[in-house]
Amino acid sequence: MKHYDTIVIGTGGGTKLVRPVADLGRKVAVAEMESPGGTCLNRGCIPSKMLIYPADIIHLTEDLSRLQLSKDSDWKVDFSKLVERISKTVDADSASIAPAYNKNPNIDFYPYKAKFVGKREISLGSEIITGDRIFIAVGCRPKIPHIEGLEGTPFWTSREALRNTKLPKRLVILGAGFIALELGLAYRAFGTEVIFIARSKILKEEDLDIREAFHENVSKKVTLHENCNIHKVSYKDGVFKIVLDDKDHSVLEADALMVATGTIPNTDDLGLEHTDIRLNADGYIETNEYLETSAKSIYALGDVIGRYFYRHSVNFEGEYLFDNLYLKKNPSPIHYPPMPHAVFTYPEIARVGLTEDSVRLAGFDYIKAIHPYSGSAQGMARLPEVGFVKILLDKNSRKVLGAHIIGDEASNLIHMIILGMTMGLKLEDYLNMIYIHPSLPEITRNAFRKARDQLGNTV
């Protein structure tokens, strides 16, 4: 049985603990049963954004008349070549990871499924290994609901939607979270008729003002069935028949069906029953303030611990673990700065901090300030369909509790507020800086000015 200083299971966010540790002269084993690079590279963030970017160009030019422009014909997309280019790019990136590991004398790469066969013993192919420190970064997979007739049909998850090379005429999507909406709106831009079935509300985790603005905009482009589910599914001769659980048992027909109803952690077949590692009721690995599991010197990070579900959050956790365990003499608990996220739909959405409902429930004495894109020089130039910046400010500390943006470049625009919240800036700090004119960040400045006006002479 081989013994290592460090064992890393999973090559998504787990990569933060492979080469950096090996470069310290430690012997590292890394295990990956699928394509190296994890969900983000192979079937998530990167290929989806490569698909969404050309879709956004189409979205941007759909109503050119508002800018006194016109085009002679509709956009044409070579969809199969587009998807083949995306797949080729991410596959090449993924394929480069294992050879780089194999060139490093301190890294052993195991292209096998990892399974615990003892408290610290892990089976990989025909070998069993153990290590001083073990890191579990196995992520999550799509959750498939039990629906009569669904099993056995060629339905998609996000994985298949990103590899499909034939553009469907009609696509039904069960789900209305960010994965469903990002991919669904991209397909819609390329010419597919898209129908969403939302079991509750669309983007239910977002701020209410954002949800309402997004709903009003997107409902003009696609069909939305909210507070609805699929009763049963059948498939024959290339056609899905989808029966809804509404009062009329409405029937939809489509040549593609995508299920995007959340994820579940990949902990059910890791052999954790042979260890002292505890799971919570939803199957996520329980960790303490050092990201250590209930088994000493076994750590977990990323989606599999159920805290945050972003590549930037697992990268932060991986970097924390490396610094804390391999560089520091005195380890300290993990401290997460404000955790932002974006939804790469059209219009784009970005958020950091609390929603207004959460602020209200927490009992803060707060100010809400909203400024539209249209109230700025860049907004007048772009004439976007929808767009605003919303700031939630604590009246007492004058610090930002939450910020929400919908509109062009929201994921870029939010970063000045991410920095401000991370640095503990107050309202006056945002107002004392000089903003380039004309630029999109002036919209944020104007939201802060509105907050100042509500506070009166106290700033």
Q: How many CB atoms lie within 10 A of CB 263?
A: 19
* 246-to-25, 171, 174, 268, 300 alpha-carbon distances in Å: 62, 19, 14, 34, 42
Q: Is 386 exposed, middle or buried (0-12, 13-18, 19+ CB in 10 A)?
A: middle
The chain-wide mean pLDDT, for the chain, equals 95
Amino acid making up residue 407: G
Q: What is the tens place of the pLDDT at every residue in 337-393? A: 999 999 999 999 999 999 999 999 999 999 999 999 999 999 999 998 899 999 999
Residue 247 is predicted with a pLDDT of: 84
Arithmetic mean of pLDDT, 157-161: 96
Strand 140-142 relative to strand 263-265, pairing: antiparallel
**Helices and strands in the chain: count of H runs, count of E runs:** 15, 21
Amino acid making up residue 82: L
Burial per residue of 157-180, b for 16 or more beta-carbon CB atoms within 10 angstroms, e otherwise: bbeebbbbeebbebbbbbbbbbbb
Residue 73 is predicted with a pLDDT of: 75
Tokens of 16: 């933060």
Percent of all residues in the chain with a pLDDT value above 70, rounded to a whole number: 99
Q: What is the tens place of the pLDDT at every residue in 17-70? A: 999 999 999 999 999 999 999 999 999 999 999 999 999 999 988 878 888 888
Residue 385 is predicted with a pLDDT of: 87
Q: How many CB atoms lie within 10 A of CB 336?
A: 11
Residue 126 has pLDDT above 80, yes or no: yes
300 contact partners, CB below 8 Å, separation of at least 6:
135, 136, 137, 277, 285, 287, 291, 293
Arithmetic mean of pLDDT, 440-457: 93
64 vs 316, residue with greater confidence: 316
pTM, full prediction: 0.94
Q: What is the tens place of the pLDDT at every residue in 165-217? A: 999 999 999 999 999 999 999 999 999 999 999 999 899 999 999 999 999 99
Residue 246 is predicted with a pLDDT of: 85
Q: What does the alpha-carbon distance between residue 107 and residue 102 come to, in Å, rounded to a whole number?
A: 7
Q: Are 135 and 127 in contact (CB under 8 A)?
A: no
Q: What is the tens place of the pLDDT at every residue in 400-443? A: 999 999 999 999 999 999 999 999 999 999 999 999 999 999 99
Arithmetic mean of pLDDT, 107-130: 97
Residue 187 is predicted with a pLDDT of: 98
User: Which residue is associated with the tokens 């690079």?
Assistant: 37
Residue 458 is predicted with a pLDDT of: 57
Q: Are 383 and 66 in contact (CB under 8 A)?
A: yes
Confidence of residue 75 (pLDDT cuts 50, 70, 90): confident
Q: Which long-range contacts (CB under 8 A, 24 or more apart) does 267-273 make?
A: 267/138, 267/304, 269/113, 269/115, 270/9, 270/114, 270/115, 270/116, 270/136, 270/138, 271/115, 271/116, 271/117, 271/123, 272/116
> What domains are defined for the chain?
2-141+264-327 (3.50.50.60), 158-261 (3.50.50.60), 341-458 (3.30.390.30)
Percent of all residues in the chain with a pLDDT value above 90, rounded to a whole number: 92
Residue 7 has pLDDT above 70, yes or no: yes
Residue 459 is predicted with a pLDDT of: 53
Beta bridge partners of 352: 403
Q: Are 196 and 222 in contact (CB under 8 A)?
A: yes
